[in-house]
Structure 1
Amino acid sequence: MDEQTFSRRQSLGLAALAVGSATLAGCARAEAAPAVAAPLAAGGAAPFVTKIDFKDPYWTRDTYARLDADIDPTKEKVGWISGKAFGVRPNEKVRPLFKVEGFSVVRTKRLEDGSWRRMLREIVFYRDIETGEILKQWANPYTGETVRVVPIANDPFNFTITAFQPEGPSYGGLQKTQASMKPFLQDWSFGADGKMVLQTGIDMIYPNALDPKKWVRESSGPMNRVSEHFIYVVDRADVENPALTHIPAVGSWSRITPWLPWMLMGQADGHISYFTHFGTAKNGIADLPADIVAAARAMDPKWLSAPTEDYGPSLSSLENYAREQTPAPVPAGWVPPKAPSGMGQ
């Protein structure tokens, strides 16, 4: 879930397309693959690969699409996420700052070359670390200032799942990427008790949409350094089941990102570290906490459903913040908060 996130954050699916090692041998199926994939058949059956082969990019493509979404275009998949965000500064222990909880809603469509286009909205709220209440304001312990909280709200975060290694997100052109024709392979392994495990992630540094000259208090500097990593755990029987257009999963999402812009930390030393768990909401929106659903609906009812058509651009919350918010006033003599000079308690 980038702020990129649920995806990504990525589960929310944000950067979960990041791949493990890839070899040209993985393209062996390319000649045998159909040029045009058949549409979903009646009753929910679909022409996707279920025979497990970690070196087959077509198995990877179809399995990841079934994991990230539901490849029946008439269905929506709801993913939820819950955990905490921590502040990390030099010379002091890591500090839990607030809880995070939210969800994404995604649908897919099959492209003529057999790829899957996934179309997603995601929204994540921050909760008080003690009471669990959804935060509208937050007392920043680093500055002593009460600030307005801005939830993650990305509409859309779309990408195409193909048999080739995906490009990284461009964030509206801020991160320059190059097309790759390497096969799409991921770091899958067999776990205990009939389980399978996928580990995936992405590490990025790219120009900051929040120019520090304009966004003095919100910007962490001229560059964003962001890492997101996921662990998915699934049942092997589900992966091999040709009747399942979605593979239920549980797992974890971690993210390292600059100070959130609404914290008004400027270019202070340190960063935010998210540590969360995620899963599939079997009964959709009905499985989500009522206050999260109500808060999303109050912002806009659209957050409770997936896009029905493809549009963009697909941006993370950092780029959306630059587009939707305005710079905070800079008090005379303001400087970013400093970390302790020695070992903190």
Structure 2
Amino acid sequence: MANDQVTRRDGLKLAAATVGMMAIPKAAGAAGIAAGAVTSASVPSFVTKVDFKDPKWNRDTYARMDGDVDPTREKLGWLKGTAWGVRDNEKVRPLFGVEGFSLVRVKQLEDGSWRRMLREIVFYRDLDTGELLKTWHNPYTDEDVRVVPIANDPFNYTISDFLPEAPSYGGLQKTAPAPRKPFLLDWTEGPDGTLICQTGIDMIYPSALQPDKWPRESAGPMNRVSEHFVYTVKRADVENPRLTHIPHVGSWSRVTPWLPWMLMGQAPGNVNYLCTFQTLPNVAALPADLAAAARAMDPKWLSAPTTDYGPSLSSLEHYAHEQTPAPVPAGWSPPQPPAAPAPRKS
């Protein structure tokens, strides 16, 4: 076996290493063993030798960041940030706080790929009080609207030696077959022993919220969405064969149409999210009101899927399936950005 491939037996021979920059709390029920450390003979082997040009190393490292390759465990990711409104001829303005979490389970497939099975839920907070929002005053329309959290169950895909295809969102996004490209991520090595991974996707595809049926919720016939992620890890953790999950901190940005529940119609502009994220040891570490709100919606949001199912949809498609079109007031029209200021006379 090659030196960069670590077996379960090899990993179990090594002493537990201290996690550096982002120390992880001990996992519940595993006293004395760092969360994400090999504890079970059922853990598959994975590549640990850093090689940015090796698709298998990229595959295994990403699976260990995004989840925990011990199939008996689930990984809890927590995010927090702000959503901003963007329109012409005015400053970008903060709209509401963003906070949520996801739980993911990873299982290895026969060919060595990893199947990532995830559910995620994201709520919105009042920027002044921090309270979770049930209604929100839309400054663009001067009306109170009902807030709908992001609640995606599931969002699954396979992490393999090749870059994944774009998500289909239930068949809405159709892409022509293309030559398969090796799974090579954008890595930078920092001078302080850190590795930084940047990944993301840019899409435009038909909206499930078409304007003729959803005049107030639809931003138009097409969704233009971008999501980008930055993971920062310690190289020593990546190389540690005892760590089935690699602790990290990172950032998530999202550019998306006006959220359907904002009732902006086809008004010009969009929403930008900017959030940080990291791993938490268990749901007890979540803010109490966040966990309670998720539990009130359904206790399932507090655990990762144990089986693979679908389809995998975004919050925009779920909205179309779960909500009903808002009434259109007489004389209503989408709000428009302010006019451009007149040129200054010299």
Pick the TM interval, shorter chain: 0.7 to 0.9
Distance of aligned partners of 1:108 and 1:45 in 2 relative to their CA distance in 1, 3 Å threshold: closer
Q: Could you say what secondary structure the match of 2:97 adopts? A: strand
- SS at 1:75 equivalent: coil
- Structure 1 residue runs of 4 or more that deviate by more than 4 Å after TM superposition: none
Separation of aligned partners in 1, 2:58 and 2:255: 26
Q: Deviations over 1:254-307 (max 9, x none)?
A: 1100000000000000000001100011x2111110000000000000000000
The alignment status of 1:203 with 2:202, answered yes or no, reads yes
Distance 1:304 1:58 in 2: 31
Q: Contact 2:204/2:224 (CA < 8 Å) preserved in 1?
A: yes
Among 302, 308, 312, the residue aligned to 1:314: 312
For 2:117, the equivalent position in structure 1 comes to 119
Structure 2, unpaired ranges of 5+ = 6-37
**Secondary structure of residue in 2 paired with 1:296:** helix
Write the mapping of 1:101-120 to structure 2, written as runs, cut at 5 A.
Answer: 101-120=99-118
For 1:289 and 1:180, locate their aligned partners in 2 and report how far apart those are by CA, in whole Å: 45
Q: Equivalences for 1:135-174 in 2 at 5 Å? A: 135-174=133-172
Q: Whole-Å Cα distance in 1 between the matches of residues 293 and 39 of structure 2? A: 38
More moved, 175-184 vs 243-252: 175-184
How much does 1:44 deviate?
Answer: 6.4
Aligned equivalents of 1:179 and 1:113: distance in 2? 21
In the alignment, the residues of structure 1 paired with residue 171 and residue 273 of structure 2 have an alpha-carbon distance, to the nearest angstrom, of 25
The answer to whether 1:218 aligns with 2:217 is: yes
Corresponding residue to 2:130 among 132, 136, 145:
132
Q: 1:41 to 1:80 in 2, by over 3 A?
A: closer
AA in 2 matched with 1:272: V
In structure 2, how many angstroms separate the alpha carbons of the residues matched to 1:343 and 1:106?
A: 49
Residue matched to 2:31:
none
Q: 2:247 is aligned with what amino acid?
A: P
Aligned length: 307
Asked whether the equivalents of residues 43 and 69 of structure 2 are also in contact (C-alpha less than 8 Å), the reply is no
1:1-345 alignment runs, 5 A limit: 42-43=40-41, 45-177=43-175, 178=177, 180-281=179-280, 283-343=281-341
Contact 1:92 1:343 (8 Å CA) reproduced:
no
Whole-Å separation in 1 of the counterparts to 2:104 and 2:244 = 13
Q: Is the 8 A contact 2:118 2:304 kept in 1?
A: yes
Q: Which digits, 9 at most, give the CA deviation of each residue in 1:231-269, with x for residues without a partner?
A: 110000000011110001101111100000000000000
State the SS of the aligned residue for 1:262: helix
Q: Is the 8 A contact 1:167 1:180 kept in 2?
A: no
Q: Give the deviation of 1:230 after TM superposition.
A: 1.0
Distance 1:343 1:122, change over 3 A: farther
CA displacement at 1:182 relative to structure 2: 1.3
Letter of the structure 2 residue corresponding to residue 110 of structure 1: Q
- Indicate if the aligned counterparts of 2:43 and 2:71 stay in contact, CA closer than 8 A: no
Q: Which amino acid aligns with 2:312?
A: S
Give me the whole-angstrom Cα distance separating, in 1, the residues matched to 2:237 and 2:268: 45
Q: Secondary structure at the match of 1:112?
A: coil
Amino acid at match of 2:239: E
**Gapped regions of structure 1 (runs ≥ 5):** 1-28, 34-39
Partners of 2:179 and 2:282 lie apart in 1 by: 35
Aligned counterparts of 1:342 and 1:114: Cα–Cα separation in 2: 56
User: Following the alignment from structure 1 to structure 2, what is the Cα–Cα distance between the partners of residues 336 and 279?
Assistant: 38
Distance in 2 (alpha carbons) for counterparts of 1:83 and 1:41 = 34
Aligned partner of residue 233 in structure 1, secondary structure:
strand
Q: Which has the larger radius of gyration?
A: 2
Q: Distance in 1 between matches of 2:219 and 2:83?
A: 17
The share of aligned pairs that are identical, in percent, is 72
Please say if residues 44 and 243 of structure 1, whose CA atoms lie closer than 8 Å, have aligned partners that are also in contact. Answer: no
Write the deviation string for residues 204-240 of structure 1: whole angstroms up to 9, x where unpaired.
Answer: 0000000110000000000000011111100000000
Taking the aligned partners of 1:141 and 1:291, their CA distance within structure 2 comes to: 26
The CA deviation at 1:184 is 0.5
What's the C-alpha RMSD, in Å, of the aligned pairs? 1.7
In 2, are the aligned partners of 1:46 and 1:245 still within 8 Å (CA)? no
